[in-house]
Chain A
């Protein structure tokens, strides 16, 4: 599972041009439209993923 997580994080941060540090900590304070969207999307999918994995037990 860590392998899958690592792969998705590696591929996703490059495709999306950033992560919690890039978009969250640096992009939001610059009022970057891209960062607002990116942060919203990855937060949403993080929450969704945990919810789904949780209900699968």
Chain B
């Protein structure tokens, strides 16, 4: 049952990404082209989604647990460290180059075009590289 609900939620998310144009790299780059030919449309995506949750989270997070899970799985850290900043910088640059972020990247796989496949393949490589890099740092700290 949870599987079906998750599938439906993913489906709704995907429709939202598609309708809004978030899956279109040209649209995203147009939005990031603040200093050039600015296309402000995507501001309604972040604004709408985040804006909606400013209201809904007030009620949702007061509950003991989500509807289909035993507990909320919320990040608790409040430290603004170099990982957060450098990670965000790298993500921002990658986003600016490709015009795609993880969600749209995966959604675009179904177009069976070369670019999304290459993007996702290297996104996975990047994620695995981070795991390797993280272990390396840990080992160095322990020595």
Q: B46–A20 contact, CB under 8 A? A: yes
Cα A25 to Cα B102 in complex, Å, equals 14
The distance from the CB of A54 to the nearest CB of chain B, in whole angstroms, is 5
User: Which residues of chain B have a CB within 8 Å of any CB of chain A?
Assistant: 29, 32-36, 46, 49-50, 53-54, 56-57, 61, 74-75, 77-80, 83-103, 105, 115, 118-131, 133
Does residue A57 face the partner (Cβ distance < 8 Å to B)?
no
Interface size class of A (residues with CB under 8 A): 35 or more
A-B contact list, 22 entries, CB within 8 Å: A1-B98, A2-B119, A5-B100, A6-B126, A9-B98, A9-B126, A10-B129, A14-B87, A14-B130, A16-B87, A16-B91, A25-B49, A28-B50, A28-B54, A29-B57, A30-B57, A34-B77, A47-B32, A49-B93, A49-B97, A53-B96, A54-B36
Which residue of B has the minimal Cβ distance to A11?
A: B126
With both beta carbons as reference points, the residue of chain B lying nearest to A16 in the complex is identified as B87
**Residues in chain A near residue B88, CB distance under 8 A:** 12, 16, 23, 37-39, 41-42, 45
